[in-house]
Structure 1
Amino acid sequence: MTELVLDNGDICIATSIDPPALADLVPKYPKGRVLLLELDVTKFEDVVVAFKTAQQTYGYVDVVFNNAGVAIAAEVEGTPEDTARKLFDVNFWGSANVTKETIRFFREVNGSERGGKLLQMTSMTGIAGWPALGYYAASKHAVEGLTRTLVQELKPEWNIQVMMIEPGFMRTPILTVSERFDPLPAYAGGVGDRTRLGLQPQQVTGDPQKAIESVYIVSQNDKLPLHLPMGPDAIEGYRSAIEELTKAADDWEALAKQAVFND
């Protein structure tokens, strides 16, 4: 996304917990077009400083791509609690930190005339879940729930738009750097093993370059969708979740409607 934004002539404030990893971008573009900032999203004060630096340098920010994330491959029962909590610190609390400061910045710095767009990276697993990715999926469900609620709270006059990007599996480094834990004996040969095999890069067909190009194009629209699936497996996840909820609504509608006071 950073390279795509810059190649299209825009200014990019590229944040990373490891800024040297992006340092090779600076000499490729005219001075002032790219600003590298160190940012640990789990530290709210870091987020505040990043936005303050952006304001001091450019005056405003039009689009925020809230993208930090990590993953764990393990069954729910076999995931160490301390590891799961660290994942939530990044995937949920980190995302929430950026989200809150983004909204404040758009409202109070940009103002209603400029407003702003928040691109919220979630996941197809935040819609449908996935074996051996339980805590990752849970963190993305949490981001989805927080974001859907936030959207209801925003006042229209603030001119702030939010889009949740919900990709399926993409061939990115997260596949190889994610923490993995062998299954407990009881889970050996289960569906989690298929997930572990399926997370091998050569098994994943999702093209992140094509996906992010599509995201960039949609982000230019005057009106953003709240949900943006990416990849055929994301569509499958959508349809599976829709079918599951529709069946539950049909099967239990009569019973559910009885749970009210008769007066």
Structure 2
Amino acid sequence: MSQSALTALTLPHNAVWFVTGTSSGIGHSLLSSILSAPGHRVVALSRDPSAIPLPSTSTKDNTLLVPVDLKSKDSIKAAFDAAIKTFGRIDVVVNNAGYGLIGELESVSVTAGRELFEINYWAPIQITLEAIRIFREVNPLSGPIGGVIAQVSSAGGYITAPGQVYYHSSKWALEAATESLVKELDPEWHIRAVIFEPGSVKTKWSNANMVDGGQHPAYVREESKMLGTDLIRNMAGWEGKLGAEARDVANLMAKVVRDEEGKWGGRNLLRLPVGADSWTLIKSDVEEVRCNLEKWKKESESTSPGDVKETLKALGLIQE
């Protein structure tokens, strides 16, 4: 389904950002990126805000530290209430918090998978729901209607690697939900969405933020015959060769959200690979899909009653 055109959205000079996962990595670097714009303010969320090292540009007037339990709907609501009480509005929501879970599908417990979904999927969904309401109903009371929803996904939100079933599933689900959401919203609400898909970044993701779900004995192999998950486990330190600096990723994200180069063009930016590794891997996957579509086109179309393209266009499901 094609996107409805959006009226140009310009963030106010004193835009308020609401960011999860700010204690380290991309989320922490975002604090400096956000506050580099004069007048912009930030609500920094973390399980323990007192542990967040703040940039020199942070003051009591432009930074609000809020504790949050992302597994709790009430805690998320309380964080939004605190932000509105302090700043009166929210213009950008960045769903950055998340973690990885490595292990074969047969080895990782379903309980562990459900717990990951609470943080990687359900928390961003709950935050997105609160954001839409505030963008539409609260923001007009103090300035322009609307805002930006930024989902920090991953190259793994589009492609997959072994040993990451639940992580990939959570990111794919978040991307699908976001893509569907933007097709539901009224363009007059001026709500935009962007999905960032970072590749490797020099953060704690592959160590402190990666839970090991164990290994099923059937997958144990000697080193020369390792299966996929162990190959991924043995890529320790790969961020040093491929990984972008978190500050560079954060600066790009802030620049894109602010639309500093005017590239949004009245549309949502549904997916933006971040990093040459992400771009290359996703491009390769897209090419493989394209090749398979052409290879199996006859078989795919054989079940349909004639040319359905015009009907799909009439229904607004595709555009040229």
TM-score, with normalisation over the residues of structure 2? Answer: 0.76
- Name the structure 2 match of 1:255: 299
Post-superposition offset of 1:144: 0.7
Cα-Cα RMSD? 2.0
Distance between the aligned counterparts of 1:146 and 1:58, measured in 2? 29
- Name the structure 1 match of 2:249: 211
Post-superposition offset of 1:182: 4.2
Deviation per CA, 1:85-107, whole angstroms, max 9, x where unpaired? Answer: 11011101111111111111111
Deviation per CA, 1:52-86, whole angstroms, max 9, x where unpaired? Answer: 22111111111111111011111222111111111
Distance between the aligned counterparts of 2:31 and 2:124, measured in 1? 18
Secondary structure at the counterpart of residue 158 of structure 2:
helix
Measured at CA, do residues 218 and 49 of structure 1 come closer, stay the same or move farther in structure 2, by a change above 3 Å? same
Secondary structure at the counterpart of residue 254 of structure 1:
helix
For the pair 1:17 / 2:41, whether they are aligned, the reply is: no
Question: Which of the numbers 101, 115, 123 marks the counterpart of 1:86?
Answer: 115
Post-superposition offset of 1:30: 2.8
Question: Which of the numbers 108, 115, 127 marks the counterpart of 2:158?
Answer: 127
For the pair 1:167 / 2:198, whether they are aligned, the reply is: yes
Distance between the aligned counterparts of 2:106 and 2:199, measured in 1? 24
Contact 2:199-2:243 within 8 A present in 1 as well: no
Distance between the aligned counterparts of 1:28 and 1:47, measured in 2? 26
Post-superposition offset of 1:207: 1.9
Moved more, 211-220 or 197-206: 197-206
Measured at CA, do residues 75 and 204 of structure 1 come closer, stay the same or move farther in structure 2, by a change above 3 Å? farther
Distance between the aligned counterparts of 2:50 and 2:236, measured in 1? 28
TM-score, with normalisation over the residues of structure 1? Answer: 0.91
The number of residues matched between the two structures is 261
Post-superposition offset of 1:250: 1.1
Distance between the aligned counterparts of 2:290 and 2:271, measured in 1? 19
Distance between the aligned counterparts of 1:225 and 1:190, measured in 2? 37
Equivalences for residues 173-192 of structure 1 within 5 A: 173-177=204-208, 178-187=210-219, 188=221, 189-192=226-229
- Name the structure 1 match of 2:231: 194
Equivalences for residues 51-130 of structure 1 within 5 A: 51-111=80-140, 113-130=144-161
Distance between the aligned counterparts of 1:120 and 1:206, measured in 2? 18
Moved more, 105-114 or 81-90: 105-114
Post-superposition offset of 1:27: 8.0
Name structure 1 gaps, 5 residues minimum.
Answer: none
Distance between the aligned counterparts of 1:140 and 1:64, measured in 2? 17
Name structure 2 gaps, 5 residues minimum.
Answer: 1-29, 307-320
Distance between the aligned counterparts of 2:283 and 2:70, measured in 1? 32
Distance between the aligned counterparts of 1:249 and 1:103, measured in 2? 36
Contact 1:106-1:160 within 8 A present in 2 as well: yes
Percent sequence identity over aligned pairs: 30
- Name the structure 2 match of 1:152: 183
Higher relative contact order (CA 8 A, sep 6+): 2
Distance between the aligned counterparts of 2:169 and 2:192, measured in 1? 24
Which structure has the highest helix share of the two? 1
